[in-house]
Structure 1
């Protein structure tokens, strides 16, 4: 059995890295991933988000591997993730469901928020082969090398994705901070992150009042009838991002 352990620190906050983790597939640096589907999602009584995803990956057998033993170089992988917004940690376990006698890879990843506002990633992997025929050690070494190469590509994609997610996250966070939809502390914890994240100053459009829609000769009832219906947070955000065209 081959064992791999590594730690890595991201300069981005935990909220950004967590979002990038769930959005990492598909991406051009992981062309071996054919599909990624959520098969279950639930919230525990303690407030943690539990997600199970089924991922289909395609690989290539090495040239020295005996022909005809593995009919197809594809494997289903199950990913089980727990997101703890209070403790600001993400724990993920993955394992392959196919070709387990040839090689089984069990990976554990954990993302932790640091006091400096960064994110620490801890990765552990166990590669085990029960193939025999004098190829066990060679198969495990090949699997370890492939795992390291894929880890570097995924990490590089994380950095690129975080660059695009940071301004979007700051924009949405600023909107939600001023929205009444996040008065609930649980909602704020999920959507806004920790108080150490610095909000971005954004001026949101104010809700129209009855007085603004009154005419000089109208009544309160007439003014109320001309008021637009109350908008939810998503409608307000879309209206703010895409304001109506100005009249000439």
Structure 2
């Protein structure tokens, strides 16, 4: 029997380093966007050739459409997940497949997390969906593709939620770099403004000092003039008295 598989590919970019994404991957659940994931257990983990190999068992549940209720009930499905972490190439690859309900709908999913040149992490997800239900395989595969896309969006949302909680400062670093640069670029302007204000203040002080010196000079001149007048009046006091006496 030939089983036809439908394929789907999606890409997601996380604004976090590859190291942070891998660290957060083991802590993805629980999160508000992945309530359909009920349990997760690590079965095996070992290091071979400098790579970390892990196997985990998860149980998930998803609501089924009305037409699918005739084929199976909405019961939890066991999912096995194998992963390979390569710290040299900085790639993290996961392989997941369902253990139950495989004749109805079998889903093989591969996700590769790789480091990008800008420091962010790219996640490429590929799904291969097949069904052995005669007469309904195409409808089931189409349903599986749509479910894969919807769950992919939820998974990305939930993953970002976990990343923000684990690395709250790092998320801002990715978006605040331009702001920091902008602040640095405006720094000279602030300095220039301060220098201008300082220069204006110095000019004002000099101007005030000039005015003060001018006023002081005028005061000294008036004092000298008054002193000369006083000496003149003192020397000619008798003559001035005689003059006023004659007029009276």
- Name the TM-score, length of structure 2 as normaliser: 0.64
Equivalent residues of 1:110, 1:122 under 8 A apart: yes
For 2:75 and 2:156, the matched residues in 1 are separated by 24
Superposed CA RMSD: 1.8
What's the counterpart of residue 16 of structure 2? 12
What's the counterpart of residue 157 of structure 1? 158
Displacement of 1:31 in angstroms is: 1.1
Equivalent residues of 2:43, 2:56 under 8 A apart: yes
Gapped runs of 5+ residues in structure 2?
A: 171-248
What's the counterpart of residue 36 of structure 1? 40
Equivalent residues of 2:46, 2:52 under 8 A apart: yes
For 2:91 and 2:69, the matched residues in 1 are separated by 42
Bigger CA radius of gyration: 2
Render the CA deviation track for 1:83-112: whole Å, top value 9, x for unaligned. Answer: 111111101000000010000000000000
What's the counterpart of residue 87 of structure 1? 89
Displacement of 1:65 in angstroms is: 2.3
Gapped runs of 5+ residues in structure 1?
A: 170-248
- Name the TM-score, length of structure 1 as normaliser: 0.64
Equivalent residues of 1:78, 1:97 under 8 A apart: yes
**Per the alignment, do residues 168 and 63 of structure 1 end up closer, same or farther by CA in structure 2, a change over 3 Å counting?**
same
Displacement of 1:127 in angstroms is: 0.7
Equivalent residues of 1:61, 1:73 under 8 A apart: no
For 1:150 and 1:8, the matched residues in 2 are separated by 13
For 1:26 and 1:54, the matched residues in 2 are separated by 15
Displacement of 1:73 in angstroms is: 2.4
What's the counterpart of residue 119 of structure 1? 121
